[in-house]
């Protein structure tokens, strides 16, 4: 792992402001599979402190609320100020006024990787050992026991990273440092060092193959599987919305009213995911591109060509995603404030 990012935490004084905008629009008791397409007129903030109870499915909710140690609370406050000002595009974080020792993060997979456009949900807990030790973490894996999407991200929720204390580092500087390390470093490491184009080489002992430029069949197969499985993550997040992130998911994935100002144009990642996956299937089928024939380029930056087995599985995901998009487009009409994705079930 690379050296730790140096972040100057001096001059941080006032904690981030608590937001009640989401709490006025969303209720979490018996949460239905509903996304509100009009929760925000523009992209939701990257970081927010909410004045509602934390979601019932937060992995660490049952852990006791940490002792009110002034020094520890001040450090948590500084961590949140860093997140509020410095989160990179594609990472969103939420905590709760009643439990600031809990944090939930959604990372949207980086483009050019098999994880692109897919949401990844991670819960954190700042226990009494923080900041002497890193926060506890839990990755919500939605693979239905079909295997890992990444060598560093386990189906049981474990994330293998030296900065989290879950993997022995080659360089001691990669360990959590109570005075220098930050939560921001953890999140950037997950996005930039875990969710990568060739995840196969993240497996322990396989780094040498990558450095030698060795293109292995196993790597291609792993990448292909990760891509297909994470299309299911998009489906899962839209059919089973992530509490406290309904506005983030709706803004990034679903269609909205056409705006003149480009800053208010929704990314429409659902439509992009469908379009790009369909193009990859078409690429696999030579009849879709007779003119280029065998000289046609790679299907994507991370997969040269899909296998026939992957095409079958990917098409199943596309069918579901297209129906979700159809429901969203049909109900995205003037005066329609929200729509229920539960109207469509597989």
- Spell out the domains of the chain, with CATH numbers in brackets: 12-346 (3.10.110.10)
Backbone angles phi, psi at 101, to 5 degrees: -80, -5
Helix 217-239 × helix 269-284 angle, to 10°: 140
State the catalytic residue, choosing from 43, 160, 282, 288.
Answer: 160
Q: What is the pLDDT of residue 213?
A: 53
Residues across the chain? 346
**Token duo for residue 17:** 């402001």
160 has catalytic annotation: yes
What whole-number percentage of the chain has pLDDT above 90? 56
239: exposed, middle or buried (Cβ count in 10 Å: 0-12, 13-18, 19+): middle
**What letter does residue 18 receive in the DSSP assignment?**
E
Instruction: Give the per-residue pLDDT at 258.
Output: 54
First to last CA, the chain: 41
What is the overall mean pLDDT for the chain?
A: 81
The CA distance from 291 to 282, in Å, is 13
26 pLDDT band, cuts 50/70/90, is very low
What is the pLDDT confidence band of residue 296, given thresholds at 50, 70 and 90? Answer: low
Structure tokens that stand for 297 in this block: 């380029």
At 209-235, the pLDDT tens digits run 655 555 577 888 999 999 999 999 999
Mean pLDDT in residue range 147-161: 94
Q: How many CB atoms lie within 10 A of CB 297?
A: 9
The pLDDT, as a whole number, for residue 328 is 84
């Amino acid at each position: 792992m690379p050296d730790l990012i140096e972040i100057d935490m001096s001059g941080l004084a006032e904690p981030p402001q608590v937001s009640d905008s989401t709490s006025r629009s969303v209720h979490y008791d018996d949460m239905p599979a509903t996304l509100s397409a009009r929760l925000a007129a523009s992209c939701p903030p990257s970081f927010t402190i909410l004045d509602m109870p934390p979601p019932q499915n937060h992995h660490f909710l049952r852990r006791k609320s940490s002792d009110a140690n002034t020094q520890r609370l001040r450090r948590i406050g500084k961590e949140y100020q860093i997140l509020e000002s410095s989160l990179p595009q594609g990472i969103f974080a939420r905590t709760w006024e009643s439990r600031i020792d809990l944090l939930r993060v959604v990372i949207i997979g980086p483009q050019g990787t098999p994880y692109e456009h897919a949401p990844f949900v991670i819960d954190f807990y700042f226990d009494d050992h923080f900041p002497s030790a890193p926060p506890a973490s839990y990755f919500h894996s939605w693979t239905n026991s079909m295997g890992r999407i990444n060598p560093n991200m386990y189906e049981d929720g474990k994330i293998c990273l030296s900065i989290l204390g879950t993997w022995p580092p080659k360089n001691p500087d990669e360990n959590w440092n109570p005075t220098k390390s930050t939560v921001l470093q953890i999140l950037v490491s997950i996005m930039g060092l875990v969710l990568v184009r060739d995840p196969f080489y993240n497996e322990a002992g396989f780094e040498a193959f990558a450095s030698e430029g060795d293109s292995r069949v196993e790597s291609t197969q792993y990448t292909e599987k990760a891509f297909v499985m994470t299309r299911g993550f998009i489906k899962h997040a839209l059919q089973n919305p992530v509490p406290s992130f309904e506005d983030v998911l709706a803004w990034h994935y679903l269609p909205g009213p056409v705006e003149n100002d480009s800053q208010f144009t929704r990314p429409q990642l659902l439509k992009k995911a469908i379009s790009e996956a369909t193009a990859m299937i078409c690429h696999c089928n030579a009849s879709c591109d007779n003119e280029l024939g065998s000289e046609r380029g790679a299907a994507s930056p991370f997969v040269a060509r899909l296998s026939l087995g992957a095409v079958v599985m990917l098409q199943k995901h596309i069918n579901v995603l297209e129906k979700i998009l159809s429901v969203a487009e049909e109900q995205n009409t003037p005066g329609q404030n929200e729509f229920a994705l539960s109207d469509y079930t597989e």
